[in-house]
A = this chain, B = another copy of it.
Amino acid sequence: MNSVNLKQLAQELNLSVSTVSRALRDSWEISTPTKQRVFDLAKKMNFQPNPYASSLRKHRSRTIAVVIPEVANNFFALAIKGIETVAREKGYHVLIYITNEDVGEEAAIASSLQSGRVDGVILSLCGSTQDTRHLLELQQRNIPLVFFDRVSEGVVAPKVMTNDHESGFIATEHLIKAGCRRVAHLTISMSLSISNKRQQGYEDALRRYERTPEAGLIVHCGNDEAANYQLIRELLMAENRPTGVFASVEKLAVQVYHVCRELGLRIPEDVKVISFSNLVTASLLNPSLTTIAQPAYDMGKEAATILFRRLEKKYIVVPEDRVMLPARLEVRDSTMA
């Protein structure tokens, strides 16, 4: 283990432990020459203060938790990168937890975070979360919580999100203007606020262009890839199949591509496709995919920044910040007229 500690430094320098501690924290109470001696020896012995002793005494761990539904997804990966960047800048450490879209796991993780292990939590809900008691309990323990992307409307906490309603509207409008008469929407959750907003945007766009939303054109997908494939397959095999598909997440767009390939449907001639996505290869797909790209990296940075603001200046109490970053429509071949 790490055996060099304050006591050893103190002994070596004929100083008290407290003096060494203060010197290392550059306290004004310690004379410059003494500080220098301490710094030098600490460096020479490669002293690393035990973070757990410090955390125990100070009730601050300089550690945050990031809880996300999945990681093998460019959006969340970029968000993590943004969070980690800000965190390391601020001298914080980042614990990562993956819920695998399972509320049970999410609740278990949240519960374990009540121990004081982290100073704050950045979280993106899993698709099935309805009951948010586990998150309220976190807050009751005075552990600040910041949502990003998949936020909870029921929990009062800062939220970093994109303009989902507007984006849903734009995506749908884009398909309509490209000539689609029947536009379908693939969604992942009935409870997630972002899903509902995107769907609302979709429906509003339909009405704006004098179409009636049809239940059959809204497909609720889940976490089972094979089942999703079947749902999409049925959608596209129907006689009055849609000529445009708006996917709320990229994995569903990928499935649409596969289904079209199987059914011999041409994109964009037979079916036009648009999707929320941060795929780096969107422009290289066959055909290239029109996307609504979210500023994932910036969202991560923003969420982290808000959290650290709360952690470091407690006197600023902003119970419900809402940061809305714009998503970008990137038009490509999959929606060509």
Contacts and interface: CB of A to CB of B under 8 A. Distances in A.
B78 A142 contact: no
B52 A137 contact: no
Nearest to A98: B84
A39 B72 CA distance: 38
Interface string A274-301: 0000011100111110000000000000
Contacts of A130: none
A132 to B, nearest CB: 16
A252 B111 CA distance: 42
Contact of A80 (B2, B50, B63, B71): B71
A37 interface: no
Contacts of A74: 72
Interface of A: 1-2, 46, 48-53, 55-56, 59, 61, 63, 70-74, 77-78, 80-81, 84-85, 88, 93-98, 111-112, 114-117, 137, 141-142, 251, 254, 257-258, 279-281, 284-288
Contacts of A285: 281, 284-286
A114 B96 CA distance: 20
Nearest to A283: B258
A64 to B, nearest CB: 10
24 contacts: A2-B115, A46-B114, A48-B111, A48-B116, A50-B115, A50-B116, A51-B115, A51-B117, A52-B52, A52-B61, A53-B56, A56-B56, A71-B71, A71-B77, A71-B84, A81-B98, A88-B97, A93-B117, A95-B96, A254-B281, A281-B281, A284-B285, A284-B286, A286-B287
A141 B112 CA distance: 29
A137 B46 contact: yes
A74 B76 CA distance: 11
A33 B117 CA distance: 31
A137 B4 CA distance: 14
Nearest to A115: B48
Contacts of A61: 52
Contact of A59 (B1, B63, B97): B1
A82 B49 CA distance: 31
A319 B5 CA distance: 28
A45 to B, nearest CB: 12
Contact of A50 (B56, B111, B286): B56
B2 A114 contact: yes
Nearest to A297: B72
Contacts of A59: 1
